[in-house]
Amino acid sequence: MNLEFSPEEIAFRDEVRAFIRDNYPKELVGLGNREDLTREQFLAWHKILGKKGWSAPAWPKKYGGTGWTSTQRYIWSEENARVDALMPLPFGISMVGPVIYTFGNEEQKAKHLPGILAGDVWWAQGYSEPGAGSDLASLKTTAVRDGDHYVINGQKTWTTLAQHADWGFFLCRTDPSAKAQEGISFILVDMKTPGIEVRPIKLIDGTHEVNETWLTDVRVPVENLVGKENEGWTYAKFLLAHERSGIAGVARSKRGVERLRSIASQETLDGTPLIKTDEFARKISQLEIDLTALEFTELRTLASEAAGKGPGPESSILKIKGTEIQQRLTELTLEAVGNYGAPYARGMDHFGSNEIGVGPDYSNFSADAYFNMRKTSIYGGSNEIQRNIISKMILGL
Amino acid sequence: MDFNFTEEQTMIRDSLARLIKDQYDFDTRRKVVASKEGWRPEMWAQFAELGLLAAPFSEEDGGLGGGPIDAMVVMEEFGKGLVVEPFLQTVVLAGGFLKAGTSAQKEDHLAALISGERVFAFAYAEPKGRYNLADLETTATKDGSGWKISGHKAVVIGAPWASHLIVTARTSGGRRDAKGVGVFIVAKDAKGVTTRDYPTVDGRRASEVYFENVTVGADAVIGDPSDSLGLVEKVTDEAIAALCAEACGAMKVANAQTVEYSKTRKQFGTPIGKFQVLQHRMADMFIEHEQSVSMTYMATLKLGEDDVTRKKAASAAKVRIGQGGRFIGQQSIQIHGGMGMTDELAIGHYFKRLTMIDSEFGNVDHHLKRYTELSAAEVAVAAE
């Protein structure tokens, strides 16, 4: 047991650090935590990494992964977090990609994996429905076989950034007579197919991050079915476990703690920097300690994955603790900025400028970030669902 | 980076687990704890025979060439079995000091420690000193070539079983000064040492130890008698890491027993483990244990780093383990219901041990404060 990097790993760190320094787009600097960016902004770093062959470090090498060890992947995410890099979105790389290379056929792999790796094709996730949130298996969207096509009807919701999407992966009921978790299929859908309508949902932080997706008589070729008909639930669960393992966000939260420290040394209370008051300093310490615990839990998980085990139910710990910490971080940042948490930069329509122009720069969007982060304990299987998973899969209750 | 155990470490774990299973079951432990002696010297001899007492020491010091990870492995198993014998005090603490001693001290004391014939206790705390290792009213004054020690040491764990004490005393400066802290080896039967022995709430034994003009030779001093607070902190951090490992073992068993109980205990016609409110509680207990294991690895692996990194790591671990241990202890009792309150079940004894671990070598508040001060100092240095 040791924590040291080998000389090879140090060389690797220097290599990726130099690559990021030389290639990370200057126009993206400082945008790493924002949700309201353009399609080009979201994809810029992804495309550069795609050309380099580094967009999907966790994939098996034969499908375009990097073949890095778990330590190298840890170094990679640390180095990206140092510059707050806008990483490839999860929908292609972390979600549908692994499902396609694990359960898809050769045609599907050849057709879809290159676009995911290159950042040319934007994927949307068609899972949740108005009546199927945490109880995902109660979904009602149907896909009915008609010759060489499925005809899909239904409504999906919380479809993240679907306004930019080229393709979507949808869970549809193909056998209405089966029990809830059986009879579901995993179908890939070209978002330009007639009958799909994406409508924006405005969130409490003022952003347009999610959508309703309406599907009316959408005709999809049967070759877009992944794996076997009526076995989509297995693939859906596999996807969620993969989603969870990347969700800890340790490196990014470490950056967030640094930022919080910097804000708390600039803000004052009775003339003393906030960071020098016992109350606030100890809140930061507790956060940092909890983050250390999460970091080492993730490292242990990575090590056991490297030993051949895929992401298991233990990844629920990473989801719960990772999201709690992300929430706590934005909560403390909002606390730290004090009065200047109030001005609303995204609501300037009637004020002749879209720049808010008041308060220190670091206070902008601090409340929005706090509001937005409440989503993290709800999405990806709510934190309550994660506790169900731990109690059933690990504790055997 | 590597989180695997060596073959030797796995062997230590397996053979110790077997020994505890065969000879340290809960009923046996209860009898031993209730006996006049309160521990089993013959068990200590078996630990020596298994190589546990030699495991963390280098080969040139007469050990097996292991280190803190070996101590971690042992302590975790001890935590699972609620072992009372003073491995922490003797091997980790006294051993930690003796490693920094002269070759004569090693030849005399370390050899006898490893063979199992000499048992130590660490007399550092004082009635008013709380967790501050420098807050010393005990004094050591120069006496010819040696020293004369006077003072009162509080709650010295394992002292009734010890032949020798490692004693901290002030050699100069004011009561809480960082400078002027010395470390001494004192035979418990030395003239002027008196003890008042008693049991502790978690099944161990301790003493109040009084020193009245106890004279020791120059060869009793470990390190620099005028400036050893750094050494005391280092060895104490090693003890904190080992104590965290013990807590992890105790948490693991407390969780397992609680989950098991919830599967058999029925109320309203159904096992209580089927109630979601309790399932989520036990999921949180599971998470607390896993995070404690992570923190124990982290603190143990950072013992060899620079002072600030090591201190922050030890304090961070002690904070998380203190919080996790309290949560697991309290919830284990809660889920066991009235049965958890009975002395007959093991669970209450795990709860008591976890409770005491929090206050040993500084509780959550103490270490949160220490961590915060170290962070502030780090920022100040970086700004210069």
DSSP string, B34-95: HSSS-S-HHHHHHHHHHTTTTTTS-GGGTS-S--HHHHHHHHHHHHHHT--S-HIIIIIIIH
In the CATH scheme, what is the code of domain B122-227?
Answer: 2.40.110.10
**Which neighbouring-strand residues pair with B215?**
B148
Residue A308 forms contact with B (CB below 8 Å): no
DSSP three-state, residue A181: coil
Q: Which residue in the set B287, B300, B376 is minimally distant from A281, CB to CB? A: B376
If residue A123 lies in a helix (H) or strand (E), which one and from where to where? strand A123-126
Tokens at A52, concatenated:
């380099």
Beta strands in chain B (DSSP E): 120-123, 139-143, 146-157, 164-170, 181-187, 193-199, 205-216, 221-222, 266-267, 270-271
* pLDDT of amino acid A346: 85
- Calculate how close chain A gets to B164, using CA atoms only, in Å: 33
Catalytic residues of A: 243
Using the beta-carbon criterion (under 8 Å), do B291 and A395 form an inter-chain contact? Answer: no
- Calculate how close chain A gets to B314, using CA atoms only, in Å: 11
Rounded to whole angstroms, the Cα distance separating A259 from A366 reads: 12
Task: Verify that A334 and A366 share a domain, yes or no.
Answer: yes
Rounded to whole angstroms, the Cα distance separating A88 from A42 reads: 7
Task: Verify that A253 and A379 share a domain, yes or no.
Answer: yes
Per-residue pLDDT of chain A (397 residues; tens, 9 = 90+): 888 889 999 999 999 999 999 999 999 988 876 777 899 999 999 999 999 999 999 899 999 999 998 889 889 999 998 898 999 999 999 999 999 999 999 999 999 999 999 999 999 999 999 999 989 999 999 999 999 999 999 999 999 999 999 999 999 999 999 988 899 999 999 999 999 999 999 999 988 999 999 999 999 999 999 999 999 999 998 888 777 656 788 989 999 999 999 999 999 999 999 999 999 999 999 999 999 999 999 989 888 877 776 667 888 999 999 999 999 999 999 999 999 999 998 888 888 877 788 999 999 889 999 999 999 999 988 999 999 999 999 999 9
Task: Verify that A191 and A220 share a domain, yes or no.
Answer: yes
Task: Verify that A277 and A369 share a domain, yes or no.
Answer: yes
DSSP three-state, residue A124: strand
Using the beta-carbon criterion (under 8 Å), do A293 and B69 form an inter-chain contact? Answer: no
Q: Which residue in the set B280, B282, B371 is minimally distant from A285, CB to CB? A: B371
Which residues of chain B are at the A interface, by a Cβ-Cβ cutoff of 8 Å? 1-5, 69, 259, 262-263, 273-274, 276, 279-280, 282-284, 286-287, 290-295, 297-298, 300-302, 316, 319-320, 368-369, 371-372, 375-376, 379
- The answer to whether position A389 is within a domain reads yes
Q: How far is CA A218 from each of CA A153, A161, A376, B173, rounded to the nearest angstrom? A: 7, 20, 31, 84
Angle between the N-to-C axes of helices A278-306 and A70-82, in degrees from 0 to 180, rounded to the nearest 10: 150
Number of C-alpha atoms within 13 angstroms, CB side, residue A290? 25
Measured between beta carbons, which residues in chain A are less than 8 angstroms from residue B319?
286, 289
Domain count, chain A: 3
Count of positions (residues) in chain B: 384
Neighbours of A327 (CB within 10 A): 17
Which CATH number characterizes residue A207's domain?
Answer: 2.40.110.10
- The answer to whether position A165 is within a domain reads yes
- Third-level CATH fold of B7-118: Butyryl-Coa Dehydrogenase, subunit A; domain 1 (1.10.540)
Average pLDDT, chain B: 97
> How many Å from the N-terminal Cα to the C-terminal Cα in chain B?
32
Task: Verify that A137 and A205 share a domain, yes or no.
Answer: yes
- The answer to whether position A321 is within a domain reads yes
- The answer to whether position A114 is within a domain reads no
Task: Verify that A154 and A213 share a domain, yes or no.
Answer: yes
Contacts of B142 (CB under 8 A, 6+ apart): B148, B171
Q: Residue-wise over A284-314: b if at least 16 C-beta within 10 A, else e? A: bbbbbbbbbbbbbbbbbbbbbbeeeeebbbb
Using the beta-carbon criterion (under 8 Å), do B279 and A391 form an inter-chain contact? Answer: yes
Which CATH number characterizes residue A297's domain?
Answer: 1.20.140.10
- Residue of A275, A285, A297, A385 best to disrupt the B interface, most CBs of B under 10 A: A285
Q: Residue-wise over B240-252: b if at least 16 C-beta within 10 A, else e? A: bbbbbbbbbbbbb
Measured between beta carbons, which residues in chain B are less than 8 angstroms from residue A396?
259, 263
Domain ranges of chain B: 7-118, 122-227, 230-383
Residue A288 forms contact with B (CB below 8 Å): yes
DSSP three-state, residue A83: coil
Residue A290 forms contact with B (CB below 8 Å): yes
Q: Which residue in the set B283, B295, B301 is minimally distant from A293, CB to CB? A: B295
Measured between beta carbons, which residues in chain A are less than 8 angstroms from residue B69?
1
The secondary structure of B181-223 as a DSSP string is EEEEEEETTSTTEEEEEEE-TTS-EEEEEEEEEEEE-GGGEES
Using the beta-carbon criterion (under 8 Å), do A317 and B280 form an inter-chain contact? Answer: no
Residue A68 forms contact with B (CB below 8 Å): no
* Nearest C-alpha neighbor of A226 from the set A381, A90, A107: A107
Which residues, given as ranges, of chain B have pLDDT below 50?
Answer: none
pLDDT tens string B252-294:
999 999 999 999 999 999 999 999 999 999 999 999 999 999 9
- The answer to whether position A194 is within a domain reads yes
- Residue of B260, B290, B374 best to disrupt the A interface, most CBs of A under 10 A: B290
The boundaries of the domain holding residue A357 are 246-394
Using the beta-carbon criterion (under 8 Å), do B368 and A286 form an inter-chain contact? Answer: yes
Rounded to whole angstroms, the Cα distance separating A7 from A5 reads: 7
- Calculate how close chain B gets to A316, using CA atoms only, in Å: 9
Using the beta-carbon criterion (under 8 Å), do A3 and B301 form an inter-chain contact? Answer: yes
- The answer to whether position A51 is within a domain reads yes
Count interface pairs A-B at CB distance under 8 A: 120
- The answer to whether position A240 is within a domain reads no
Task: Verify that A225 and A252 share a domain, yes or no.
Answer: no
- Calculate how close chain B gets to A310, using CA atoms only, in Å: 17
* Nearest C-alpha neighbor of A98 from the set A252, A244, A230, A300: A244
Using the beta-carbon criterion (under 8 Å), do B319 and A317 form an inter-chain contact? Answer: no
Using the beta-carbon criterion (under 8 Å), do A286 and B319 form an inter-chain contact? Answer: yes
- Calculate how close chain B gets to A178, using CA atoms only, in Å: 26
Measured between beta carbons, which residues in chain A are less than 8 angstroms from residue B68?
none
Q: Using CB atoms and an 8 Å cut-off, which of residues 4-33 of chain A contact chain B?
A: 4-5, 9
Q: Which residue in the set A5, A293, A300 is minimally distant from B320, CB to CB? A: A293
Using the beta-carbon criterion (under 8 Å), do B283 and A390 form an inter-chain contact? Answer: yes
- Third-level CATH fold of B230-383: Butyryl-CoA Dehydrogenase, subunit A; domain 3 (1.20.140)
Task: Verify that A129 and A71 share a domain, yes or no.
Answer: no
Rounded to whole angstroms, the Cα distance separating B379 from B384 reads: 9
* pLDDT of amino acid B59: 96
Using the beta-carbon criterion (under 8 Å), do A292 and B295 form an inter-chain contact? Answer: yes
Measured between beta carbons, which residues in chain B are less than 8 angstroms from residue A9?
1
- The answer to whether position A94 is within a domain reads no
Task: Verify that A383 and A254 share a domain, yes or no.
Answer: yes
Residue A283 forms contact with B (CB below 8 Å): no
